[in-house]
Amino acid sequence: MTTALEPERTVSVPGEVRLEGVGVRFDFDHLGRVLTPALARLRRIRATAWGLRDLDLQIEPGAGVAVIGPTGSGKTTLLRVLGGVICPDAGTADVRGRVGSLLATDAGLQAPLTGRENAELLGVLAGLSKADAGARIEAMQAGARLGAAFDRPVHTYSEGMRARLGFAVIQVISPSVLLLDEVFEALDHEFRAIVEDYVHELRRRGGVVVAAGHDHVALERICPGALLLDRGHVRAAGSFAEVLETYRGAGSVAPEA
């Protein structure tokens, strides 16, 4: 049966990820504020923390990789690098194919805008033409399953409703690389099943899925592989079960100081 959230019939480009020696650095001033390179010329750097360090990663088409680890281990930073949201300060990141991402609890939505307005905005920002985004609004509405709430401001939405809308937009832009950060935690069981079906279908067609979070049961259902991050470094990589075992046995895995 075809649901509104199934990937389009073809993934235009097979997804692929290659990271080599990737590092993401955060510089802070004496008040703990983040410094950019330009700001660092005006204020003295008092502390530096690496969100990711010397990270090598290769994800082939059709793969699903869960990123696990404690809070502050670099999971979100890694996903942001893959999504092109953050440029690495060291190394190279090569992500092939259109990226669809849900990397924030508010799913990139603008609270004062309605679901419909957000869907159109995010569609265009993700690479659709205005005409294309307009033409696919109905598909987004059907996919989000929000009923009349689709035309209400997003600030009236619950976290789960936001995730639904964000995911419906992703479905329409037809990504080759899907990035999910703690998405399952916000979704009800009905929509979780829809997302899982979508992810399996996407991977079957050559797409790549990278998902982070703490709901390991849900992650294992969509990602056969996993990566354990610890203070910005890869501590373990392999099958989900093996990596989870390492994580559970690793008492010293701690958040970045």
Partner 1 sequence: MDVLAELAKSDIKMRYGRGRVRAVKWLLDPIAALGVYLALIVFVLDRGETATGLSLLCAIIPFQLVMMTVINALQAVGLRSSIIVNMAFPRTLIPLSSVLTESVALTASLTLLPIMMAIYGVAPTAALLWLPVAIAVTIAFAAALAYPAALAGIWWPELMPFGVSLVRAMFFLAPGLVALDQITGTARELLPVNPLTGLFESFRDAVLFGHAPAAWKLLVPLAVGALVLAVSLPVYRREQSEFAKLVG
Binding site for partner 1 (CB under 8 A): 26, 34, 36-39, 80, 83-87, 99, 101-104, 106-113, 117, 120-122, 124-126, 129-130, 133, 166
Q: Give dist(CA 210, CA 97) in Å, integer.
A: 14
Q: How far is the CB of 194 from partner 1 (least distance, A)?
A: 20
Closest approach of partner 1 to the CB of residue 34, in Å: 5
| Structure-block tokens of residue 104 | 């924030």
CB of 106 or CB of 215, closer to partner 1? 106
Q: Using the minimum distance from each CB to partner 1, give the nearer residue, 98 or 235.
A: 98
- Tell the burial category of 231 from Cβ atoms under 10 Å away from its Cβ (0-12, 13-18, 19+): buried
Of residues 68 and 109, the one with the C-beta less far from partner 1: 109
Per DSSP, 5 falls in state: T
State which residue, 181 or 230, has the beta carbon closest to partner 1. Answer: 181
Strand-pair category, 16-28 with 34-35 = antiparallel
Nearest approach, Cβ of residue 208 and partner 1 (Å): 16
* Phi, psi (rounded to 5 degrees) for 199: -65, -45
Q: Quote the CA–CA distance of 163 and 225 in Å, as a whole number.
A: 24
Q: 181: how many CB neighbours lie within 10 A of its CB?
A: 21
Least Å distance between CB 80 and partner 1?
6
What's the min distance (Å) between Cβ of 58 and partner 1?
21
Q: How far is the CB of 256 from partner 1 (least distance, A)?
A: 14
- Are 163 and 1 in contact, with CB atoms under 8 Å apart? no
Taking the least distance from each CB to partner 1, the nearer of 34 and 47 is 34
* Distance from chain centroid for Cα 236: 20
Terminus-to-terminus CA distance in the chain, angstroms? Answer: 49
Closest CB to partner 1 among residues 61, 166: 166
Measured CA to CA, the distance from residue 146 to residue 94 in angstroms comes to 35
